[in-house]
Amino acid sequence: MTAGMSTLNILDPERCWKEWIRLGSLTKVQNLFDLEGLRNPRTLRVPTLSAIEKAAYRWALENQEEARRDLEFAWASEGEVLTEERWIGFLVDKTKLAYFVQPRKIERYLEKHDLLQYA
């Protein structure tokens, strides 16, 4: 099993995404989970930043409409505009990151969402 995969089972991907948007950093999300006592049952460690990030991106990729609204809000608070071009770039980049050990899954996702031409 790939490193970090067992950690994903204890994480709520939607919560990872929403807390990241709300708090503004993965480290703050990790600290919140640490304060709550959320631990990997095998290692007894708080979930890694990478595990939280990948869980969040997986949720965003499967819930694009809501994730886009969240991201637009977060970017606007930083003075940035989420254009269609940047959104497509986000989807392609985060698909590759979230499923980096599963190249066929990346291809299927990009194909399903008509994003292959941007990859």
Residue with tokens 């969040």, as numbered in its chain: 56
Question: Distance between CA atoms of 13 and 19, rounded to whole angstroms?
Answer: 10
pLDDT at position 10: 86
Domain ranges of the chain: 5-118
Q: At what angle do helices 13-23 and 26-36 cross, to 10 degrees?
A: 120
Candidates 87, 36, 34; CA nearest to 26 is: 34
C-alpha triplet 87, 49, 101: angle, nearest 5°: 70
**pLDDT (tens digit per residue) in 58-113:** 999 999 999 999 999 999 999 999 999 999 999 999 988 888 878 888 888 888 88
Question: Distance between CA atoms of 83 and 97, rounded to whole angstroms?
Answer: 21
